[in-house]
Amino acid sequence: MLRVALSTLVALVLVSGLCAKFAFAEQVKCEGTITKVEGEKVTVKDASNHEQHMMVVPATKVMIDGKAAKSTDLKVGQHVSCTCDKKGDTMTCNSLEAKTR
């Protein structure tokens, strides 16, 4: 009986550890040029021509040239630096700073 209880406890600890790993988002930083804006979806191409697709949600802190802005102010061609939470294949921006010059 003790062996079954101990085995069950070990299994629960392992499963909860795996769940915790997938529940927390990995924080990712990216930098590049906006190539596409479609609603909340923004595509950024970095210096090595790799595209990053991210979501800019209402909670995202957006700055353009050092001033507070909205996601609707983002334009193709702007240089951006951003910090995103990555869960699986989905990247959601926490903050995004764009420069028009």
Q: Please write the tens of the pLDDT for every residue from 6-19.
A: 666 555 555 555 44
Q: What is the pLDDT of residue 3?
A: 75
Q: Nearest-5° angle of CA 47, CA 49, CA 52?
A: 95
| pTM more than 0.95 | no
Q: What is the pLDDT of residue 38?
A: 95
Q: Tell me which H or E stretch contains 7.
A: helix 2-23
Burial of 82 (0-12, 13-18, 19+ CB in 10 A): buried
End-to-end CA distance of the chain: 71
Q: Please write the tens of the pLDDT for every residue from 23-45.
A: 567 999 999 999 999 999 999 99
Q: Which CATH number fits domain 26-99: 2.40.50.320, 3.30.360.10, 3.30.70.3040, 3.40.50.1100?
A: 2.40.50.320
Q: Please write the tens of the pLDDT for every residue from 81-94.
A: 999 999 988 999 99
Residue-range domain boundaries for the chain: 26-99
Q: What is the pLDDT of residue 64?
A: 96
Average the pLDDT over 66-80 and give the result.
95
* Mean pLDDT of the chain, nearest integer: 85
